[in-house]
Amino acid sequence: MVNIKINNIPVSVEEGTTILQAAKKIGIRIPTLCYMKDINAIGACRICVVEVKGARSLVAACVYPVNEGMEVFTDTPKVRASRKTTLELILSDHNKSCLSCDRNTHCELQDLSYEYGCDINRFSGEHHECEKDVSTPYLVRDNSKCVLCRRCVAVCRKIQEVGVIGPVKRGFKTHIGCAFENDLNDSPCVACGQCINVCPTGALHEREEIDEVRAAIADPEKIVIAGPAPSVRAGLGEEFGYPMGTNVEGKMITALRMLGFDKVFDVNFSADLTIMEEANELVERIQKGGKLPMFTSCSPGWVRYLEYYYPELIPNVSTCKSPQQMFGAIVKTYYAEKLGVDPSKLYVVSIMPCTAKKFEKGRPDQSASGYPDIDAVLTTRELAKMIKQNGILFNELVDGEVDSPLGIYTGAGVIFGATGGVMEAALRTAAETITGKPLENVEFKKVRGTKGIKEATYDIGGKTVKVAVASGIANAKKICEKVSKGKCDYTFIEIMCCPGGCVNGGGQPIMSSVVRENTDYKALRASVLYKADKKCGLRKSHDNPVIKEIYDNYLGKPGSHKAHEILHTSYVKRERYKK
Amino acid sequence: MNYNELVAIKERALKAMGPRAADHTLKEIKERTVLVCGGTGCTSGKSRVILEEFREEVAKAGLSDRVKVIMTGCFGLCALGPVVIVYPEGAFYSQVHPEYVHEIVESHLVNNTVLTKYLYKETVKEEGVIKALNETDFYRKQHRLALRNCGVIDPENVEEYIARDGYLALYKVLTSMSQDDVVKVMLDSGLRGRGGAGFPTGRKWMFAKASQADKKFVLCNADEGDPGAFMDRSVLEGDPHAVLEAMAIAAYTIGSDQGYIYVRAEYPIAVQRLRIAIKQANEYGLLGNNIFGTGFNFNVEVRLGAGAFVCGEETALMVSIEGNRGEPRPRPPFPAVKGLFAKPTILNNVETYANVAQIILNGAEWFASMGTEKSKGTKVFALGGKITNTGLVEVPMGTTLREIIEEIGGGIPNSKKFKAAQTGGPSGGCIPAEKMDVAIDYDNLIAIGSMMGSGGLIVMDEDNCMVDIAKFFLEFTVDESCGKCTPCRIGTKRLYELLTKVTNGTAELEDLDKMEELCKYIKENSLCGLGQTAPNPVLSTLRYFRDEYVAHVVEKRCPAGVCKNLVSYSIQPDKCKGCTACARKCPVGAISGTVKNPHVIDKAKCIKCGACMATCKFGAIVKG
């Protein structure tokens, strides 16, 4: 142990501890901006500087290890003045359109500027040159608001191991961009949006579709249908002051109606439908000797990753469309028929915890009715923004009920949002399909939890089935390597692009780095889904009465020709960089 | 390779080399050596053509067996390049043109008559009598230690290096010294890092030796990037084996078997000679496996830098070798504990290494007897700017600036007055005339607001505006900042903008205070040495030349007449003869007037290029 004093308070910490961590131990928060625990301790922004007795200059607390007898001062006039100047310099090169910025009141730079009483105009001068990158359908990079903290770079490189962005050029001209200064669209970005989630300012945000949705709602010719994903109800409350891990499904449904959606359905329903098709595909592959292991295909970021980096594994991926796309497809075919309207009159809006879904809706082979399955994708954050913009007092709302029939779901559909959820839901159905007997215990607990890679072996009808679950691309990469080299005996593999699954998707409410460090947010949000699953009377997708009805009267059986036409898709090999 | 073989090569090479020093006692000259400088400066002055011409002419004259023509590294007096020296007379031919070669060969080599008209004037005592080179002002006060082989040996021939005791120090270390012995010698010698900060080399080695690891690295910093500095380049071009031998000694000392030399790609000659040297050293068994049969292995590879100044910073250099964007990372951990590829690493500068073998051979006391109390040995400076003898000089620590500039450097040309000297490149400061007698060493330079840096020494005269100078150096750091930390990325930019306000005449006195505040902030808050020293040119000029700043701010005047916004040209009607020369010269047609009548400058059109003033034969145009 190393004994030091911080602001004259003695503290004893393990060797290798940084000043920042040591200070936290005795209740002192040293402000940070670029720092993110484990992945971005680089000492770049210099907000966390402190005085160390005897040191030549100020030191960055986030990276400076303690040593015996060290005396640290975290709040001297010199330290405060330095931090203030650093902030004022950052502000001097910052697009200060804070009043209407997407991140107003959610901005770490704004919070710090307030905390240090910054004069936002003390240093004025040239701003670094930049253009907004609006090349993708899912993400906007506005470098005029970038503080070069590199948190986005770190998450892209170290958590997702995709590394498509990095600092470009030098000095004052430094900016974050892609190789060869390509647009993001010309890079092998997987569209996960994790960079948005870690951005402390408004430099990164999703490509908004609020205006398009509002226009559709205002159009008397259109029947506008909302389909929120499982994880949205687990995150949306955070935008309205609810503690993390609060289920706001009822209020969300009421709010969607108040926003003017004609029908409020639920993507939980189409998650059940996905399981019907996917479990059937798995059973068929097992029984008929198809390509194994089979990968799930629900996560468009994961699919995009595979297409860029492991195209040789495309035959291993389930051909099932994702729940979002199945939702739109069934609305515009089955439901349109039921309503007796032309699918062109239907405008389907999915609400997603995800940015990759905005990309997915534009993929080829995703127009079962002849019209795009999905017309617009809103993130959880965009929905919250619309609710606020419309003067809806979310916290005052009474709980609403979803519309029938496409809002009815089972517990299996709900847990899709957590890593391992799709696996568990599929196992529930596959087990009963294979054995033909009702499942005694529907909870497959070994595939639950926020660990990056989980493995489990189950005995299903006398057959040993080895499964793996991975979330986050770095983990997916490990699994892909194994599969690619034929070094595994998995039957079924669930992969989610974002660490922890969709509850931690790139479209979920923003947390400050401090909250990220101190909260088990993946588990808290996932707990909403597992609690909801437990409360459901029906917990297996094939028990969903609406699903039964659809197969009986419309699709035939899972894997039927019609089901394939409407609910399945195909993939393409993608070149990482244009030649 | 064993000791006897090494000594045999030494003796053989010594014989083969021919005369390499002036010897005026000879009655009869039987053989001669023609040394042609192959440094970058002389090479750009066609010294390779000169070399070939000499070889051809010597062959034609049938002198091939008696005259050796050798290309060497830099002699130091770059202002007089291309340079050719003929031994044993020590005839120093300067500014040699390829066309002179035939004449020189004819007269000097064939007819034994030194061609005085092409000699460096300083070396001609009287017609036909040559003054020894080390008696000239330029060389007299110099003490060439790091540069001892530069301009003496053929850097592309390892045997010539061996002839000059090369690799004997490595032999001594490997066969008779423990690792701790070497550390002790280095500590006792007092050698400090020549790359800028002056960290004691022995301590660096001691720390790295103490670190336990399965792999350690020895690096050489040859990423010399200061504007006006070229001493490392000259050592690499002139004596590459000195660096290799020292790296091997360092590797033995800390327990490493792998070295990298990180050198700028903009130094093609240095890179080529290094590669040749590494190849030859491997062939001779002086690098590679089981060196001198001791079981010690050491391999060296060259890594090219892409020209980012910041890659001279040690952590950035390592990050760059690792294949990433060259950016510094925070310290601690220090490289001696966790350096290249997270292994214990030492990094020394070229010039530091160039001293090592000599220290081993001659002992710590010998080295420590030179220099000042805390700065031992010698220092190489690259003299540039407003100075007669532009070039490379090596002097004992403690030599004064006055000695370097006035005696060795030959003073300021065109009878101008010395104003300041800039040391330490963009990280250093400006030293004013009143500090010219300060003995130059690491600590004294810091005390007067500058630093040793790598050894660039740029001289300024009365025509230099000190605000403009500060702006020049700061512009360099603004461009070369890696952009990682806020103080350096944005702070230096804002500082530069404030300086621009001063040179434009739009600043107010508070801006000077703001500049000082920013300077202190950037020094204290930056991540690496680049940012921590970037404000030095501004701080030192504010300290010694504040009156110039005030003149710009308050009187809206640039005393040196450099800052264009504060300068205007006008024609004095009484002196103007109406010759129309200025009007014809003006590139923007700002001057009007009729023949034989006084002309007028339209100040709105004038771009202040000064062409008119340079053209006027009557001194009618004034700047004010």
Whole-number pLDDT of residue B241: 98
| Average of per-residue pLDDT values in chain B | 94
pLDDT, average across residues A66-91: 97
B422 vs chain A: nearest CA distance in angstroms?
24
- pLDDT tens-digit map of B464-518: 999 999 999 999 999 999 999 999 999 999 999 999 999 999 999 999 999 999 9
Sign for the pseudo-dihedral over CA of A553, A554, A558, A562: positive
What is the complex's ipTM, to 2 decimals?
Answer: 0.94
Mean pLDDT of A362-381: 97
Average pLDDT over residues A45-68: 96
Instruction: Indicate the pLDDT class of residue B403, thresholds 50, 70 and 90.
Output: very high
The beta-carbon neighbor of B486 closest among A45, A64, A173 is A45
A167 → closest Cβ in B325, B487, B518: B325
Q: What is the CATH number of the domain that holds A35?
A: 3.10.20.740
> Phi/psi at B378 (nearest 5 deg)?
-120, 170
**Domain's final residue, options A75, A104, A138:** A75
Q: How many CB atoms lie within 10 A of CB A289?
A: 8
Write out chain B residues lying below 8 Å of A92, CB-based.
490, 494
Chain A residues in contact with chain B using a Cβ-Cβ cutoff of 8 Å = 42-46, 49, 57-58, 60, 63-65, 82, 85-86, 89-90, 92-93, 123, 125-126, 148, 166-167, 169-174
Q: What is the pLDDT of residue B228?
A: 84
Q: Which CATH superfamily is domain B158-368 in?
A: NADH-ubiquinone oxidoreductase 51kDa subunit (3.40.50.11540)
Q: Are B526 and B519 in contact (CB under 8 A)?
A: no
What per-residue confidence (pLDDT) applies to A88?
98
Q: Which residues of A409-446 are buried (b: 16+ CB within 10 A; e: fewer)?
A: bbbbbbbbbbbbbbbbbbbbbbbbbbeeeebeebbbeb
Q: Which fold has domain B378-461?
A: Ubiquitin-like (UB roll) (3.10.20)
H helices present in A167-266, as ranges: 194-198, 210-218, 232-235, 249-258
Count other Cβ atoms within 10 Å, centred on residue B208. 28
Is the domain spanning B568-623 CATH 3.10.20.340? The answer is no
Q: B336 to chain A, minimum CA–CA distance in Å?
A: 16
The answer on pLDDT for B624 being more than 80 is: no
| pLDDT classification of B133: cutoffs 50, 70, 90 | confident
Distance to chain B for A154, nearest Cα, Å? 14
What number of other Cβ atoms are within 10 A of residue B268's Cβ? Answer: 13
User: Alpha-carbon distance B408 to B137, whole Å?
Assistant: 5
| Tokens found for residue B164 | 């000059």
Range of lowest pLDDT (A555-559, B23-27, B326-330): B23-27
Cβ contact A176:A152 at 8 Å: yes
HSE toward the beta carbon, residue A109, CA cutoff 13 A: 30
- Spatial separation of the C-alpha atoms in residues A288 and A292, rounded to whole Å: 11
Q: Choose among B464, B526, B462: nearest CA to B495.
A: B526
CATH number of the structural domain B13-138? 3.40.30.10
Rounded to an integer, what distance in angstroms lies between the CA atom of residue A184 and that of residue B238? 48
CB neighbours of residue B52 within 10 Å: 16
Q: What is the CATH number of the domain that holds A461?
A: 3.40.50.1780
- A154: its two tokens: 């770190």
pLDDT band per the 50, 70, 90 thresholds, residue B197 = confident
Contacts of B447 by beta carbon, 8 Å cutoff, 6+ apart: none
State which residues form the domain around A57: 2-75
Q: Which residues contact B158 (CB under 8 A, 6 or more apart)?
A: B166, B241, B277, B280, B281, B284, B286
| CA end-to-end distance (rounded Å), chain B | 71
Residue B433 above 80 pLDDT? yes
Percent of chain B with pLDDT over 70: 100
Owner of token pair 């691309």: A473
Determine the Cα–Cα distance for residues A303 and B220; give it in Å rounded to an integer.
46
Least CB-CB distance to B523: which of A57, A125, A173?
Answer: A57
B352: helix, strand or coil? helix
Distance, CA of B263 to CA of B307 (rounded, Å): 9
pLDDT over threshold 90, residue A298: yes
| Surface-to-core class of residue A283, CB atoms within 10 Å of its CB (0-12 exposed, 13-18 middle, 19+ buried) | buried
Summarize pLDDT for A423-446 with one digit per residue, the tens: 999 999 999 988 889 988 999 999
* Best to test chain A binding among B325, B490, B492, B498 (most A CBs inside 10 Å): B490
Tell me how crowded residue A515 is: count the other CB atoms within 10 A of its CB: 12
Confidence of residue A461 (pLDDT cuts 50, 70, 90): confident
Residue B100 has pLDDT above 80, yes or no: yes
Domain boundary among A75, A110, A131: A75
Write down the pLDDT at residue B134. 82
Contacts for A452 with CB less than 8 Å, ≥ 6 apart: A470, A471, A472, A474, A475, A499
pLDDT at B175 exceeding the cut of 90: yes
Nearest to B521 among A85, A92, A167 (CB): A85
Residues of A in contact with B478 (CB under 8 A): 171-172
* DSSP, residue by residue, A97-132: -GGG-TTTTS-HHHHHHHHTT--TTSS--PPPP---
Residue A65 has its nearest CB partner, among B308, B332, B484, at B332
Instruction: Write phi, then psi, for A460 (nearest 5 degrees).
Output: -120, 110
- Model confidence pLDDT, tens digit, residues A184-209: 999 999 999 999 999 999 999 999 99
* Chain A hits for B325, Cβ within 8 Å: 166-167
Q: Which residues of B touch A (CB under 8 A)?
A: 308, 310, 325, 327, 329-330, 332-333, 478-487, 489-494, 497, 518, 521, 523-527, 532
Q: Kindly report whether the peptide bond that precedes residue A293 is cis, defined as omega within 30 degrees of 0.
A: yes
Q: How confident is the model at residue B597 (pLDDT cuts 50, 70, 90)?
A: very high
pLDDT score, position B291: 97
Residue B230 has pLDDT above 80, yes or no: yes
Best B319, B489, B518, B536 member to test A by mutation, with max A CBs in 10 Å, is B489
Mean pLDDT, rounded, of chain A: 96
Q: How far is A55 from chain B (nearest CA, A)?
A: 10
Tokens of A555: 């699709």
Query: Residue A549: which pLDDT band, with cuts at 50, 70 and 90?
Result: very high
Residues A384 and A530 in one domain: yes
Structure-token pair, residue A470: 């991975």
Cα distance between residue B28 and residue B24, in whole Å: 10
User: pLDDT for A375-415, tens place per residue?
Assistant: 999 999 999 999 999 999 999 999 999 999 999 999 999 99
In a domain, A191, yes or no: no
Nearest CA among A318, A235, A330 for reference residue A277: A318
B526–A89 C-beta distance less than 8 A: no
Is A98 within a domain?
Answer: no
Partner-chain contact A174 B493, CB within 8 Å? no
Q: How far is CA B540 from the centre of its chain?
A: 22
Domain parsing of chain B, residue ranges? 13-138, 158-368, 378-461, 466-554, 568-623
The pLDDT of residue B126 is 76
pLDDT at A262 over 90: yes
Mean pLDDT in residue range B596-604: 93
**Widest Cα–Cα separation across chain B:** 88
pLDDT above 80 (res B620): yes
What's the average model confidence in pLDDT over A477-497?
Answer: 95
**pLDDT at position A251:** 98
> Who has greater pLDDT, B64 or A460?
B64
Mean pLDDT score, A310-320: 97
Q: Give residue B86's Cα distance to chain centre.
A: 25
Q: How far off is chain B from A72, nearest CA to CA, in Å? A: 16
Residue A224 lies inside a defined structural domain of this protein:
yes
The residue count for chain B: 624
| CATH architecture, domain defined by B466-554 | Up-down Bundle (1.20)
Task: Name the pLDDT band for A227 (thresholds 50, 70, 90).
Answer: very high
B368: left (phi over 0), alpha (psi -120 to 50) or beta: alpha
pTM of the model: 0.94
| Residue B212: predicted pLDDT | 95
The per-residue pLDDT for B220 is 98
Q: What is the pLDDT of residue A156?
A: 98
The CA distance from B93 to B104, in Å, is 9
Distance, in Å, from the CA atom of B397 to the CA atom of B405, rounded to the nearest integer, reads 15
Asked, for residue A479, whether it belongs to a domain, the answer is yes
Judge whether residue A121 has pLDDT over 80: yes
Strand residue runs (E) in B475-594: 569-571, 591-592
Q: Which residue has the tokens 């461009």?
A: B479
- DSSP letter for each residue of A280-342: HHHHHHHHHT-SSSEEP---HHHHHHHHHH-GGGGGGB--BPPHHHHHHHHIIIIIHHHHT--
| Residue A572 included in any domain | no
Dmax of chain A from CA atoms? 81
Residue of A nearest to B478 (CA): A171
Question: For residue B196, what pLDDT band results from cuts at 50, 70 and 90?
Answer: confident
Residue with tokens 């001057």: B591
SS3 B271: helix
Q: Do B485 and A174 touch (CB under 8 A)?
A: no
The residue from A41, A75, A109 where one domain ends is A75
Residue A51 is assigned to a structural domain of this protein:
yes
pLDDT at B27: 84
Cβ atoms within 10 Å of B510's Cβ, excluding its own: 9
